[in-house]
Amino acid sequence: LQKLIRLLQATDDPLIQEKALISLSNSAAFSVNQDIIRNLHGLSIIGGMLSNCVPKVKEKALNALNNLSMNITNQEEIQVYITEVCRNVESAPLNSDLQLAGLRLLTNMSVTSDYHHKMINSIPCFLHLLSEGSERTQIQVLKVLVNLSANPAMTRYLLRAQV
């Protein structure tokens, strides 16, 4: 894991970045590896890939963060990327793998109400995706919206959203 993280830091080659992120994502399926990746400062390195200009690299970084977000301690670090993830979801092509990867991460990050306030500005986008997206996109958006709607503090934002 340490070598993968170092490789991710050291290379500018999008193909190598993509492969390293896939490996980290697969490794993050195991809870012991989630802690190791966090302790190696891997969350910030993977999070840094969200600003990469290559959509496939962003998508793989979102997938890795999604798997890593199954850990509450990791969520505390990942939450700093929520606004950027929302921007990626809004700017990604409709129904793209990049958009779906972002929505999956937002679903995990919205299971508890701790970070709902960071998604308020994206509610109009979520509602737009609900009406314009494919079935896969709609299902993923609904998961985010259901999580948000479970928080009474979000009611007014959900009801007042301009679509």
| pLDDT score for 163 | 74
Rounded CA-CA distance 52/69 in Å is 20
Rounded CA-CA distance 125/109 in Å is 17
Rounded CA-CA distance 43/40 in Å is 8
- Tell me the residue type at 107: T
Residues contacting 101, CB < 8 A, separation 6+: 58, 59, 62, 63, 66
Q: Are 130 and 89 in contact (CB under 8 A)?
A: no
Task: Report the half-sphere exposure of 134 (CA within 13 A, side-chain side).
Answer: 8
Q: pTM for this one?
A: 0.95
Q: What is the pLDDT along the chain (163 residues), one digit of tens a residue?
A: 999 999 999 999 999 999 999 999 999 999 999 999 999 999 999 999 999 999 999 999 999 999 999 999 999 999 999 999 999 999 999 999 999 999 999 999 999 999 999 999 999 999 999 999 999 999 999 999 999 999 999 999 999 998 7
H or E element at residue 17: helix 14-27
Rounded CA-CA distance 21/162 in Å is 36
